[in-house]
Chains A and B, each alone.
Chain A
Amino acid sequence: MKLAELQQKLTAAARLQPPDERVPYAFEKRIMALIAERAAASGRVLWMRGFLRAAVSCLALALVCGAVSLFTPAATDNGNDLSQDFENTLLASADLPDSAP
């Protein structure tokens, strides 16, 4: 059997087949519905991603605050703790007139 000739014949046979261009009924509507669905889904996904990122940041902040409060040594009774210093600084201007002669 002449293989090269057979190959040529079969290739010619394939060339003679006209490409079928039929499109199923309302195919473009189906594509548009899928696109709309995907657009809506991607909007939801964007929101979800935003919420998830916010939740992760909040969790990280809470962990850091927890760790700081856990590992910071407890305030001593000499009144030199941060909250007392802050209050003193804040009220310094109000305290001055009382101490003035």
Chain B
Amino acid sequence: MERSEAELIAAVLKGDSASFEPLVEKYSPRVFATARRYARRDSEVQDIVQEVWLKAFDKLKTFRGEAPFEHWLMRMAVRTCYDFLRGHQRNRISSFSEISEPEEDWLERFVGDPGNAAEDADAAKLLIDSVLERLSPEARLVIQLLEIEDRSVKEIAELTGWSVPLVKVRAFRARGEMRKILARIAKDKYL
């Protein structure tokens, strides 16, 4: 008979670490999806997910069972991704000289006729990826959670551990930062 999550967690806390495996199996796809939003290289993604699971195992004692295990785990995943972004801050690219030809074409199409530039084009996806990579860790996290994943400010506060007013301030700053980056692209390419 399949054991419930609560039973598995209780078994792990009693010292049966093998009971942790079904949890890893069940939630790894979601953790991988989260990590892939913040890291590009496969090795980095795997490092993040590995860290999330090791942290989850070490801190399982702090899981009180009031909220679903998945929420607790996703909080840990988001915070680990934020730590990763902060750790790799220096690798952020600041110039737009490396914009690929399709991205440039898409931008030109957008400048010519904004309504006709399809957002489902691969070039648009590449462009938003490179814009996100140029944001500060805080801005990237907020834009990702608020604008792309469409989460509420309260949810973001819970996920990140920031207060609601801090999320709002950071969201305001992040939008400004993103606009500044886009303005720089426009200046670099069209002025």
Contacts and interface: CB of A to CB of B under 8 A. Distances in A.
Given A11-B128, A16-B125, A21-B29, A35 B20 contact: yes
Nearest to B17: A35
Question: Majority SS of interface residues in chain A?
Answer: helix
Contact of A21 (B33, B46, B131): B33
Interface stretch (A25-33, A53-61, A91-99): A25-33
A7 B28 contact: no
A39 B50 CA distance: 16
B178 A7 contact: yes
A13 B179 CA distance: 16
Interface residues of A, number: 32
Interface secondary structure of B, over-half rule: helix
Contact of A24 (B18, B21, B46, B132): B46
A70 B29 CA distance: 69
Interface in A42-78: none
A31 B46 CA distance: 11
Interface string B123-142: 01101110110000000000
Interface string B163-191: 00000000000010011001100100010
B66 interface: no
Interface centre among A5, A6, A21, by most chain B C-beta atoms within 10 angstroms, is A6
Given A21-B29, A32-B17, 19 more contacts: A1-B186, A9-B114, A10-B124, A10-B127, A13-B120, A13-B128, A14-B132, A15-B150, A16-B120, A19-B33, A19-B36, A19-B37, A20-B32, A23-B28, A27-B24, A27-B49, A28-B21, A28-B24, A31-B24
Interface of B: 17-18, 20-21, 24-25, 28-30, 32-34, 36-37, 46, 49-50, 53-54, 57, 110-111, 114, 117, 119-121, 124-125, 127-129, 131-132, 143, 147-148, 150, 175, 178-179, 182-183, 186, 190
22 contacts: A1-B186, A6-B114, A7-B179, A13-B121, A13-B127, A13-B128, A14-B132, A14-B147, A15-B148, A19-B33, A19-B34, A21-B30, A22-B32, A23-B32, A28-B24, A28-B25, A30-B50, A31-B21, A32-B17, A32-B18, A34-B54, A35-B17
